[in-house]
């Protein structure tokens, strides 16, 4: 059978090298079966899944884009910054990834200590075992809470304990805003603001904040996401236009129980040339 033409682009996805459930090759196969021709693998603070995904992409006819989703320190809400690269191990970023993992371990430990302090007993070794070497994130703690019987499912774990501002939540102690964008640029990549809604800023505050990111070298903003309402789509697209940012997006797929699948990038779908336009902004 002739490989079907690239019909969908999805610039946001996760593997079990961070908090997704699929091996990189399985993720690529699922994406291929759904008609995705361009897939960025954007694990949290690691690029450990990229090489395997590229190899699987070569076999399955999927162009895999090396990516990362960096945790950024902000005073309220949470900020994730996507980076897209030509190089599967872009320096200097690649040299800093081990340190990001250590920062995540310390933060996860603090959240587990808080839970234990609240009388919600969570075994640290069980959290570590569940993550299987991936940089630790809240989803790994949520799963340990489920296994310990404190909650019925991961969503309850977020709603009661781990969501932004909930009692066991500890914010990211990672890169600063400008520092993260500059690191992506210095590593030859294009930086994109992920899911702007999680910043929890109203329009009057989001607009100048996006202006600040643009000043720092931001190339794009996520506009095409399956959970965006028509109103969110319009707001974020207006910001993209105002600040001459590329309207990017993706499914943010993590696991089969996710509400959306690889290639679901909202309505309208993500334009197929988006990553080329993003990478054209990278300086080398």
- Cβ 237 vs Cβ 264: under 8 Å: no
- Give CA–CA dist 17/2, Å, rounded: 31
* Least Å from the CB of residue 283 to Zn ion: 25
Residues 181-210 that bind Fe ion (CB under 5 A): 194
Our finding on whether 22 is near Fe ion (CB under 5 A) is no
Our finding on whether 19 is near Zn ion (CB under 5 A) is no
Residues 64-123 that bind Zn ion (CB under 5 A): 69
Our finding on whether 252 is near Zn ion (CB under 5 A) is yes
Closest CA to 199 of 211, 210, 190: 210
Q: Which residue is nearest to ligand AMP (CB)?
A: 137
* Least Å from the CB of residue 20 to Zn ion: 9
| Among Zn ion, ligand AMP, Fe ion, none, residue 71 binds (CB under 5-8 Å by kind) | ligand AMP
Tally the residues of the chain: 284
Our finding on whether 225 is near ligand AMP (CB under 6 A) is no
- Cβ 220 vs Cβ 12: under 8 Å: no
Our finding on whether 158 is near ligand AMP (CB under 6 A) is yes
Which one of 163, 211, 217, 271 is in contact with ligand AMP (CB under 6 A)? 163
* First and final C-alpha spacing in the chain: 37
Looking at the Cβ atoms of 55 and 148, the one nearer to ligand AMP is 148
Q: Which span sits near Zn ion by CB under 5 A: 108-116, 126-134, 170-178, 249-257?
A: 249-257
| Among Zn ion, ligand AMP, Fe ion, none, residue 188 binds (CB under 5-8 Å by kind) | none
CA distances from 181 to 172, 220, 230 (A): 16, 11, 28
Our finding on whether 43 is near Zn ion (CB under 5 A) is no
- Cβ 275 vs Cβ 11: under 8 Å: yes
Q: Which span sits near ligand AMP by CB under 6 A: 49-57, 89-97, 134-142, 143-151?
A: 134-142
Our finding on whether 196 is near ligand AMP (CB under 6 A) is no
- Binding interface with ligand AMP (CB under 6 A): 19, 44, 71, 78, 137-139, 155, 158, 163, 254
Residues at the interface with Fe ion (CB under 5 A): 19, 80, 194
């Amino acid at each position: 059978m002739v490989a079907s033409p690239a019909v969908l682009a999805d610039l946001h996805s996760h593997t079990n090298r961070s908090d997704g459930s699929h091996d990189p090759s399985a993720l690529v196969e699922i994406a291929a079966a759904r008609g995705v021709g361009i897939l960025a693998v954007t694990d949290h603070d690691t690029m450990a899944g990229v090489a395997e995904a590229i190899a699987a992409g070569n076999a399955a006819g999927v162009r895999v884009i090396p990516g990362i989703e960096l945790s950024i320190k902000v005073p309220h809400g949470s900020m994730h910054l996507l980076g897209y690269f030509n190089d599967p191990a872009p320096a200097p970023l690649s040299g800093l990834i081990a340190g990001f993992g250590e920062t995540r371990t310390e933060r996860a430990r603090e959240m587990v200590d808080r839970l234990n302090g609240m009388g919600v007993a969570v075994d640290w070794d069980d959290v570590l075992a569940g993550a299987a070497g991936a940089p630790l994130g809240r989803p790994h703690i949520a799963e340990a809470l489920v296994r310990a019987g404190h909650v019925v499912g991961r969503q309850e774990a977020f709603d009661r304990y781990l969501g932004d501002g909930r009692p066991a939540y500890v914010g990211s102690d990672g890169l600063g805003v400008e520092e993260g964008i500059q690191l992506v640029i210095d590593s030859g990549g294009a930086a994109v603001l992920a899911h702007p809604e999680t910043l929890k800023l109203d329009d009057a505050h989001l607009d100048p904040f996006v202006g600040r990111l643009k000043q720092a070298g931001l190339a794009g903003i996520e506009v095409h996401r399956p959970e965006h309402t028509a109103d969110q789509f319009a707001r974020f697209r207006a910001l993209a236009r105002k600040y001459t940012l590329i309207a990017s997006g993706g499914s943010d797929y993590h696991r089969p129980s996710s509400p959306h699948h690889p290639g679901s990038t909202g309505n309208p779908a993500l334009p197929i040339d988006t990553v080329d336009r993003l990478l054209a902004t990278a300086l080398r």
